[in-house]
Chains A and B, each alone.
Chain A
Amino acid sequence: MTYKTMNDSLLWQIRHFVYNHFADTTHPPSVDETARHFNITGEEASEYYKELHNRHAFLLDAETLTVRMANPFSGIPTDFKVHANGKTYYANCAWDMLGIPATLNTDAIIEAKFTESNESVKLEVKDGKVTNGDLLVHFPLSFSRWYDDLTFT
């Protein structure tokens, strides 16, 4: 299957399914779960996943085809834990820990770690405002280089 033979509407439905699965369950759907949901083969679902990865809609682990990042959600545990809507999510980075309550449009308690000391710190998003607003986030790469190595970024 090539992009030319893909159904564009289905491609974006799969992106939507993956993101909302993350929001609902805190983890990404597997290729097989996605295939079952859309009544397509696992091979077809894999090709759609790869196409969405190529378009930076999410980041796949190349070997397992598991969704590693669907920003702001992380598929693996990180130093940025977000408690919201009675669930616990992992964010990819210090920006994404705020991206999760922004995406879910909800209040949140965030447990993060300072890079320099590994000490824990708690932040709260409540009624559209954030506590500890004077702490700092370092963006190491300029925007034009973000997609060179998304895991490092």
Chain B
Amino acid sequence: MLLFRSEEWIDKWCKQNNLERGEVLTIHQVWELSKLWYDNRLSLDYHGRSIEQTAEIFNQAGLTSKFWYI
């Protein structure tokens, strides 16, 4: 996942690298997702997560488009 200043630059970069455009989130959205995604990563009890748990995190972060389907 790469950092850009604007949508325009993302389009240019995808074109230059012959890549399809994926999903774009603001830093604010990524921070909210990070807090949910990485909350217990240092815990001994963290053994990965189920499909349902992952879907719930995306849902809580407001990521409901097809791109985030599991």
Binding site for B on A (CB under 8 A): 12-13, 15-16, 19-20, 23, 55-57, 71-72, 80, 93-96, 98-99, 101-104, 112-117, 121, 123, 125, 129-130, 132-144, 153
Interface of A is mostly: mixed
**A102 and B38 in contact (CB under 8 A), knowing A130-B27, A130-B28?**
yes
Known interface pairs A104-B42, A115-B3; 17 further A-B residue pairs with C-beta atoms within 8 A, sorted by A's residue number: A72-B34, A72-B38, A93-B2, A94-B3, A95-B1, A98-B30, A98-B34, A99-B34, A102-B37, A121-B3, A132-B27, A136-B7, A137-B1, A138-B10, A140-B19, A140-B22, A142-B23
15 pairs, A vs B, C-beta closer than 8 Å: A55-B48, A71-B41, A72-B38, A94-B1, A96-B1, A102-B35, A112-B3, A129-B31, A135-B5, A135-B26, A136-B5, A136-B24, A136-B26, A141-B22, A144-B70
The answer to whether B23 and A116 have CB atoms under 8 Å apart is no
Which chain A residue shows the least CB distance to B41? Answer: A103
Binding site for A on B (CB under 8 A): 1-7, 9-10, 12-14, 19-28, 30-31, 33-35, 37-39, 41-44, 46-48, 54, 58, 66-70
B27's partner among A101, A115, A133 (CB-CB below 8 A) is A133
The answer to whether B42 and A23 have CB atoms under 8 Å apart is yes
B26's partner among A19, A23, A133 (CB-CB below 8 A) is A133
Which chain A positions have C-beta within 8 A of B6?
Answer: 136
Say how far B37's CB is from chain A's closest CB, in angstroms.
7
Which chain B positions have C-beta within 8 A of A93?
Answer: 1-2
The answer to whether B4 and A135 have CB atoms under 8 Å apart is yes
